[in-house]
């Protein structure tokens, strides 16, 4: 294992397109002694919007946090752009929402433990206790909050309180199976990534593997997306598929699907934590 | 190149499930001196229906056509099953319906010419003349039948006449871009395979690549299916997909899509001509 | 969840090809009141060998174990074929050999716990203690047997003793990283499945991801195979691949590779435990 | 179809890494009134080399050819880097080398005709006449130059003469099946792209599908690479794969392989003509 690379800053920029934006940001970084590691950009020609992801190592003499703030100021005041800057050493705190199914739950946690993810698992919030013992083994706080049609508002209030107390920066719905209310989404204040067990926009809603089997498709899929108030309609981050045939029953589709869900959800979470995703309307740009 | 294998018969059977069906068909073939090359079966447990594809070399003393008829009789009278039997030497005549786009048109024809397909290309029916010269080069009859909202009924009448006169056994819509009327479908009498340029059931209808781009999906697809009176809803035969990203515009999606469409349509046509597909309700079984 | 299907028997047959084999086995099953669920066969034309996998529900009046033995006798004496028959209720005991890396270890165990696998995890044998606590959490016996160049023979002797005492029917090398001696293989007596972290036959031997990176390939892979005395040369069971680019360093390849290794190894183990694999020379037939 | 985008220039830069390179090139372009459309870069950390692909629209007042030359000068003199600059309007002349097999030949030509490729097909050089009539239909010059062990030197001399006379900028070996001598490669002076019908480095050399079938692999592939004096060892540009099983014989592998070869070769040729590939030692960077 080589020595760790120096801490870097990654900025995601978005704003009205105009000539010289690449030069301006590169110059700012160069003149302050920084060294660009990666830079990637995209233009939405229809909307005339420019997007960039740039990663650089700031000069050792600058404090990274101050440098990040300085870049944000520069982007806002001189370029008219919003910038989200994150240090490579940052480890946002992540909450997993789960229910009974354990495949995404275990997969995510094992990836965090193996160092694949630039985040820190803070806690698990679940409406069933099936995964409580495992969470304990992993050393994770486990909040059991059963949900019924009657107590939904109280449940969400308690969930929001936990998110705030735990200082959560990202919520991951690891097959949580409950629809979050628009009120929850409005007050949550941090991004929420969900895994839907179909190849969206096909088979939105409930029981997608049953829908897929009934339709006789030859490929099934899974979709990770940011959650918005419209069910299964948020910006798509990652998708993957498996070939199936008439020989496979719904159980088989679910088994294949679990493997897809694990990989697709983990990829989306990793990209988010590495500050690689910009949401543009109802679409994402992933600078991978 | 080794010597050609002996001519074989392939039966597709369907009917109510009951014990002994595998034994009965295998015995019938064995007792008449035949040798089974492949056998595959499937049960639809919900509907209690049994399906089988069996391929065998009949004894040399039997005429293959008579043997095929005898098997059909046996299946109907002793097993209560329908059987579609086809000789490996049969070469159904195929009509291609095309419009302006040439990619599936050329791809299909080149595959027939290279010997990949167990069929004989009979003619091309097109509503534009863009592909007329190429059809001529390939030595294929080309029927130019322009379509307008007003003449649709007359056009379909003429198309049906050509199909009958040419002894067509399979129609392939190679990006024909016109919707065939329920009347045409009712009178056509032969299967029709269409290629839809999306991953059905997502993005049915017109301009699927535009729909896919607008939705921001990360994977696009193509779907080959049998045509039924409900648009883009027929039994799916084959599907394939490509990964895409925000970097790809609609033109890119269309270019990737052309490669998908060619491969998926060719696969569906090949499977059909090799008597590998049974339609069960709105789903297919492909015995590949 | 529907009620469990009745117990079935699955036979893997292999022997000289001759007419009527499909009929003979189907008849034997039918006449004893059994009902065939699936049957699949393959001919190796060059070697004139016939292979079949047939799964059936025996009549309730017959003891499944006796029926399995009767089928084996019939195949051997009347058809001249070897048959390996396994009941769907059988749960072979499985030993995992591991080292430091945990990804395949956790993945396999979680799949056994979720009911995906028709086997019973018996124990873990490891040459490092990194996974000891996890094994304990999973309730698995963990045998720590450190390996050095000097103690290899003694180590293998002890491993073989454990396999016998534990009644192991399958050994899975979950990134064990040690080469098993020909003596071990000769005395082991049960199949061993290994996961190799490359797309064999490319990059056999050590550090395949480094080899792949140095060669500049655009796709990496993983291969599950039965272990034979020749390193990385045994019959291939399953393979899968991921696209990579110049942007990915060796660490990235290893990360992608871990996901491939987990899925490919699990698939091979599942197929083996469902009695779906026949080894024919240095190749496998997988009746999936 | 929207109006054509303005002509752009694309530069591929390579040279020793040092701070400020992104800023320097972006500034040069900005200060001369250009507008960057895309920019992508890569560092080879081991060798401390920096690579960049940058595409920009030069100011209307500048002649694109002069601007390209000016950029090359700037890169060489101020940055110590080599730059290969190409206008989006350039259409390098391409020669196809073919033999008997037509699949890559037809596929490439149809793609050039459909406008997918930024190049101009100049001629076909073949050692058999199987494709002569088709070349004529496509309106392409066809040079029939039979090859025997005795006349190889004379053949290559004639081929080189044609390449020079035709002003060829890229040679594509579309299943040419002949090994080009080191002398030919030394004198050719333009890049040569070959399609190898295996997943290199597995199964280099002759009859790869036979090798793959004999080894019992579960995935086959195709590889497009630049030709170097070492057989099948040049820098890999693109690869793709298909899953296969024991049911597929060598003919099936060849059929699947043809589809892979077409797509992989076309992709490599397209990337080359769009100035997206930098060769770095024996590896490629593809800025797609």
Least Cα distance to B120 among B129, B111, B107 occurs for: B111
Please check whether residue A4 lies inside any domain of the structure: no
* Residue-number span of the structural domain to which C29 is assigned: 9-87
CA distance A171 to A162: 11
Q: Provide the 3-class DSSP secondary structure of residue C123.
A: strand
Query: Residue B200: its pLDDT value, please?
Result: 86
Average pLDDT, chain B: 94
Residue B247 and residue B188 in one domain: yes
Question: Does residue B19 have a pLDDT over 90?
Answer: no
The answer to whether B177 and B99 have CB atoms below 8 angstroms apart is: yes
- pLDDT, residue C46, reads 80
How many structural domains does chain D have?
2
Q: Which residues lie closer than 8 Å to A153 by C-beta, 6 or more apart?
A: A181, A183
Residues C127-180 have pLDDT tens digits of 999 999 999 999 999 999 999 989 999 999 999 999 999 999 999 999 999 999
The closest alpha carbon to C96, from C88, C86, C108, belongs to C108
Residues 6+ apart with CB under 8 A from D122: D93, D94, D95, D140, D141, D166, D167, D168
In this predicted structure, what is the pLDDT of residue A1? 41
Instruction: Indicate whether B273 belongs to any domain.
Output: yes
What is the b/e burial string over B161-172, where b = at least 16 CB atoms within 10 angstroms of the residue's CB? ebbeebebbbbb
Tell me, yes or no, whether C3 lies in a domain. Answer: no
The ipTM is 0.92
Would you mind telling me the total number of residues written for chain B in this entry?
A: 288
Q: Which of A223-227, C46-50, C114-118, C214-218 has the lowest mean pLDDT?
A: C46-50
Cα–Cα distance measured from residue D127 to residue D178, given in angstroms and rounded to the nearest whole number: 9
CB within 8 Å: A110 and C116: no
pLDDT in tens, D115-133: 999 999 999 999 999 999 9
Whether A145 and A250 share a structural domain: yes
All chains having 3 or more CB pairs closer than 8 angstroms to chain D: A, B, C
Which residue from B minimizes the CA distance to C30? B20
How would residue C232 be classed by pLDDT, with cut points 50, 70 and 90? confident
Write down the mean pLDDT value for chain C.
94
- Would you call D106 and B110 a contact, using CB atoms and an 8 Å cutoff? yes
Give C177 to chain D, closest Cα distance, Å.
Answer: 22
C112: domain CATH number is 3.40.50.170
Distance CA D193, CA D170 (A): 8
Q: What is the largest CA-CA distance in chain C?
A: 64
In chain C, pLDDT over 90 holds for what percent of residues? 88
- Asked whether residue B271 is assigned to any structural domain, the reply reads yes
Q: How confident is the model at residue D4 (pLDDT cuts 50, 70, 90)?
A: low
Interface partners of chain C (CB pairs < 8 Å, 3 or more) are A, B, D
Handedness of CA A204, A208, A210, A216 (dihedral sign): positive
Q: Are B113 and B196 found together in one domain? A: yes
pLDDT score at B1: 41
Which residues of chain D does B116 touch, with a Cβ-Cβ cutoff of 8 Å? 255
**Residues in chain C whose beta carbon is closer than 8 A to a beta carbon of chain D?**
42, 199-203, 215-219, 221, 235-241, 245-247, 249, 280, 282-286, 288
- Whether residues C149 and C117 share a domain: the answer is yes
Convert the pLDDT of each residue in B103-134 to its tens digit.
999 999 999 999 999 999 999 999 999 999 99
Shared domain for A74 and A152, answered yes or no, is: no
Q: CB-CB: which of C217, C235, C285 is closest to D239?
A: C217
End-of-domain residue from the set A58, A87, A116 = A87
Residue A139, classed as helix, strand or coil, is: coil
- The pLDDT assigned to C87 comes to 96
Neighbours of C142 (CB within 10 A): 18
- Per the prediction, chain D carries an average pLDDT of 94
Same domain (yes/no): D107, D47: no
Q: How far is B215 from chain A (nearest CA, A)?
A: 7
Q: Nearest CA to CA, how far is C249 from chain D (Å)?
A: 10
Residue C1 has pLDDT above 70, yes or no: no
DSSP state of C70: H
The CA distance from D3 to A256, in Å, is 45
Same domain for C162 and C225, yes or no, is yes
Mean pLDDT of the region D191-209: 91
Please report the pLDDT score of residue C165 as a whole number.
98
Residues B276 and B146 in one domain: yes
The pLDDT, as a whole number, for residue C288 is 86
CATH number, domain with residue C22: 3.30.70.260
Q: Which residues contact C71 (CB under 8 A, 6 or more apart)?
A: C9, C11, C28, C29, C83, C85
Q: Which residue among D87, D119, D138 closes a domain? A: D87
Strands A283-286 and A277-280, by their bridges, are: antiparallel
Q: Is the pLDDT of residue C3 over 80?
A: no
Q: Between B19, B22, B30, which is nearest C20 by CB?
A: B30
**H or E element, residue C19:** none
Burial class (CB in 10 A: 0-12, 13-18, 19+), C223: buried
d(CA C197, CA C175): 9
Query: Using the beta-carbon criterion (under 8 Å), do B259 and D255 form an inter-chain contact?
Result: no
Q: Kindly list the residues from chain D whose CB atom is less than 8 angstroms away from the CB atom of residue A33.
A: 19
Residue D263 with chain B: CB contacts under 8 Å = 259
Q: How far is B182 from chain D (nearest CA, A)?
A: 33
Same domain, yes or no, for D80 and D140? no
Which positions in chain B touch A241 (Cβ < 8 Å)? 219, 241
Q: Could you say which residues of chain A have pLDDT below 70?
A: 1-5
- Cα separation, C71 vs B122, whole angstroms: 52
The shortest CB-CB distance from A41 to any of D35, D39, D43 is to: D39
Residue C82 CB neighbours (<10 A)? 13
Burial of B38 per CB tally in 10 Å (0-12, 13-18, 19+): middle
Cα–Cα distances in angstroms (integers) from residue D138 to residues B244, C160, D106, D133, in the given order:
32, 69, 9, 9
The answer to the question of residue D1 being in a domain is no
pLDDT band at B5 (very low <50, low <70, confident <90, very high): low
pLDDT at C6 over 80: no
Phi then psi for residue C253, to 5 deg, are -60, -40
- The catalytic residue among A44, A107, A130, A232 is A232
Q: Are residues A155 and A269 in the same domain?
A: yes
pLDDT value, residue D45 = 78
Residue D203 contacts residue D253 (beta carbons within 8 Å): no
Predicted pLDDT at A2: 46
Asked if the structure places residue C236 within a domain, the reply is yes
> Is residue B3 situated within a structural domain?
no
Q: pTM score, two decimals?
A: 0.95
Q: Which of D69, D87, D105 is the last residue of a domain?
A: D87
Catalytic residue among D232, D249, D259, D288: D232
Q: Do B108 and B50 share a domain, yes or no?
A: no
Q: What is the SS3 assignment for D12?
A: strand
Instruction: Give burial (CB, 10 Å; 0-12/13-18/19+) of C44.
Output: middle
Shared domain check, D160 and D68: no
D contact set with C (CB within 8 A): 42, 45, 199-203, 215-219, 221, 235-241, 245-247, 280, 282-286
> How far is the C-alpha of D107 from the C-alpha of C30, rounded, in Å?
52
Output the pLDDT for position D2: 46
Q: In the prediction, which pLDDT does D1 show?
A: 41
Closest-CA residue to B37 (of B63, B6, B67): B6
Closest Cβ–Cβ partner in D116, D137, D259 for B255: D116
Among this protein's residues, is A129 annotated catalytic?
no
Q: Which residues of B touch D55 (CB under 8 A)?
A: none
Q: What chain C residue is nearest to B20 in terms of C-alpha separation?
A: C30
| Residues of C acting as catalytic residues | 232
Closest residue in D to A23 (Cα–Cα) = D26
B232-274 per-position pLDDT tens digit: 889 999 999 999 999 999 999 999 999 999 999 999 999 999 9
Does residue B1 sit within a domain?
A: no
Sheet strands (E) in chain A: 9-16, 35-44, 49-57, 82-87, 93-98, 120-126, 141-144, 168-173, 192-196, 219-226, 236-243, 277-280, 283-286
Q: How far is A144 from chain C (nearest CA, A)?
A: 21
Helix axes D103-113, D250-273, angle to 10 degrees: 30
């Amino acid at each position: 294992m080589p020595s760790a690379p120096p801490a870097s800053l990654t900025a995601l920029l978005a704003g009205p397109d105009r000539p010289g934006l690449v030069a301006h940001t590169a110059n700012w970084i160069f003149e302050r002694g920084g060294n660009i590691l990666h830079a990637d950009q995209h233009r939405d020609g229809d909307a005339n919007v420019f997007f960039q992801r740039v990663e650089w190592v700031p000069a050792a003499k600058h404090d990274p946090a101050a440098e990040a703030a300085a870049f944000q100021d520069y982007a806002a005041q001189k370029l008219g752009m919003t910038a989200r800057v994150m240090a490579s050493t940052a480890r946002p705190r992540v909450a997993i929402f789960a229910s009974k199914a354990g495949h995404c739950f275990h997969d995510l946690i094992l990836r965090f433990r193996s160092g694949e993810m630039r985040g820190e698992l803070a806690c698990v919030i679940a409406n069933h206790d099936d995964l409580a013992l495992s969470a304990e083994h992993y050393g994770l706080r486990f909040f059991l909050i059963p949900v019924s049609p009657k107590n939904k508002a109280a449940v969400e209030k308690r969930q929001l309180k936990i998110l705030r107390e735990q200082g959560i920066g990202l919520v991951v719905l690891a097959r949580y199976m409950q629809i979050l209310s628009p009120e929850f989404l409005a007050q949550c204040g941090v991004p929420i990534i969900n895994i839907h067990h179909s190849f969206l926009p096909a088979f939105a809603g409930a029981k997608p593997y049953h829908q897929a089997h009934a339709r006789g498709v030859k490929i099934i899929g899974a979709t990770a997306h940011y959650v918005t108030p419209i069910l299964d309609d948020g910006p798509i981050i990652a998708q993957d598929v498996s070939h199936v045939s008439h020989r496979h029953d719904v159980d088989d589709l679910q088994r294949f699907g679990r493997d897809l869900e694990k990989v697709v959800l983990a990829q989306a979470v990793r990209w988010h934590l590495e500050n690689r995703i910009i949401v543009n309307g109802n679409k994402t740009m992933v600078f991978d």
